[in-house]
Structure 1
Amino acid sequence: MPPPLVERRYLNRLSAAPEPTGAVVVIDVLRSFSTAAWAIHRGAWELYPVAAPGDGLLLLQHLPQALLVGAVGGGAPIPGYHYGNSPSAVQGAELQGRTLIHCTAAGVRGLSRYRTAPLLFGAALLNARATAAVILAAGVPRVTLVITGEWTDRDGDEDVACADYLEALLQGGDPSPEPFSERVRQSDFGRRFAAGDQPHLPPADLDLCAEADRFDFALQALPSPLGLRLVAVYAGGGTMGKSRS
């Protein structure tokens, strides 16, 4: 089977292009899908991505045992939420079997934008190789990589680096992940974390986000009666969070 055709889109400069076919991978390394991946690793059952803070509070009425996780543009925690959008913040949380409601200004917004895609994933460098493996196993002819981190005040190279790595893997390559990890650290936003002068952008988060291929699962967004659910899926076909029976 030939490798899929890969195209790219930038969330903050979308044109009236046709809706993508095949798989859509929304990339947010700093920090939406890094936080989500660490939460799953810590035992979270599922995450419900919501586009706005108020949507999370409304969803909490239907999922009263859920934890609210999120940040506004720039990275500050959402007032009234249990945790910020921070991998280091969820490290000490008791997440085993928990449902999370996740709201961020970039990655989660990208999932909402492409919610009707035939296959939809959230990706970070932490699970890039696993994401590529799941997509290749699905045999889709086209993959759209959506860059979310480019803003007027930052280059988004942390997400472009992840896209470059994903594209190489999808095309059958086996590149060393170290250069891509270093690009995350040297991106505009990465350097803000490294500076350590903003409490809501801790250097510990950069360390937890810049590691490549830490996890062996992809994060797939699946439809549900309450909206999209983000769950762990594996190249062999297993899905964590498929049911509670």
Structure 2
Amino acid sequence: MDARFLSIPALAEVPSPAPSVAVVVDVMRAYTVAAWAFARGAEKIVLAASRAEALALRSRHPEWVALKDGPPAPGFGLVNSPGLLRSADLAGRTVVRKTTARTVGALAVKDAELVLCAAFVVAEATARVLRERAAGTVTIVVTGEDGRADEDLACAEYIAGRTFEPGTDAAAFLRRAAASRAAAERATGVREGAHPDDVALCLELDRFPFAMVAAVEDSLMVLRPHPVPPADGGGAAG
């Protein structure tokens, strides 16, 4: 098993067939938020291709709650902030979300046999699923800044490291993420749709004991938590 790191645009150049195993990484903040949604009780997250699709799904399923990037907007009950989401009661709820490249990244690999969505908060659980189930080449999609976002690339490389060398230490990867442009932008000032704790929450390592698996269900791309029992001897180093 080996890994290749691709941006979303580069996926279009990958010849058929689709990757057999794909990991879509977004640290700040889409998949950190997704993990928090599951921790707050959400049953599943439906990944919408557009804001209009998210609102249409919410209209057809009034019991669902919609989530978006940026400030609050009519029809959307949640925003893309782990700091704001951590107090939400989502027990048994379905979340339908539209974010930017992060949702698009998962949809771009929907034909893969296994699709995992990841951030630092579920890094070790993701690596354990890869160690147990993957063979051949793992395609890791680095979503931010057309594959150049250092917080996403650091997390992607860390997950790959933990997959192939379980002793890989997290410290240097977390430092890179903390020094990234995205972290700096979110740490300066307070804006609608964000919380001062968002960066710190995005840099928590292995906060949750589950991976997140996306698959097509009734023509929709659906993300669900995948519990991973703790390994003997504890979690990740670092």
TM-score, structure 2 length as denominator?
Answer: 0.89
* CA-CA distance at 1:187 after TM superposition: 0.4
Gaps of 5+ in 1: 237-245
Correspondence list, 1:18-97, <5 A: 18-19=15-16, 20-71=18-69, 75-77=70-72, 79-97=74-92
Please give the alpha-carbon distance, in whole angstroms, between the structure 1 residues aligned to 2:12 and 2:20: 19
Please give the alpha-carbon distance, in whole angstroms, between the structure 2 residues aligned to 1:135 and 1:62: 36
- Residue 32 of structure 1 contacts residue 107 of structure 1 at CA under 8 Å; is this kept in 2? yes
SS in 1 for 2:31: helix
Match of 1:132 among 127, 135, 147: 127
The answer for the alignment partner of 2:3 in structure 1 is 6
- Aligned pair 1:114/2:109, yes or no? yes
Match of 2:139 among 141, 144, 149: 144
Aligned residue pair count: 228
User: Residues 89 and 34 from structure 1, CA distance in 2 versus in 1: closer, same or farther, beyond 3 angstroms?
Assistant: same
SS in 2 for 1:150: helix
* CA-CA distance at 1:201 after TM superposition: 3.8
Please give the alpha-carbon distance, in whole angstroms, between the structure 1 residues aligned to 2:53 and 2:9: 21
Please give the alpha-carbon distance, in whole angstroms, between the structure 1 residues aligned to 2:154 and 2:12: 22
**Identity in percent:** 32
SS in 1 for 2:168: coil
- Residue 28 of structure 1 contacts residue 106 of structure 1 at CA under 8 Å; is this kept in 2? no
* CA-CA distance at 1:15 after TM superposition: 4.8
Aligned-residue Cα RMSD (Å) equals 1.9
The answer for the alignment partner of 1:243 in structure 2 is none
User: Residues 192 and 172 from structure 1, CA distance in 2 versus in 1: closer, same or farther, beyond 3 angstroms?
Assistant: same
* CA-CA distance at 1:212 after TM superposition: 1.2
Gaps of 5+ in 2: 230-238
TM-score, structure 1 length as denominator?
Answer: 0.86
User: Residues 16 and 77 from structure 1, CA distance in 2 versus in 1: closer, same or farther, beyond 3 angstroms?
Assistant: farther
- Residue 2 of structure 2 contacts residue 138 of structure 2 at CA under 8 Å; is this kept in 1? yes
Please give the alpha-carbon distance, in whole angstroms, between the structure 2 residues aligned to 1:135 and 1:77: 36
* CA-CA distance at 1:58 after TM superposition: 1.4
- Residue 84 of structure 2 contacts residue 195 of structure 2 at CA under 8 Å; is this kept in 1? no
The answer for the alignment partner of 2:236 in structure 1 is none
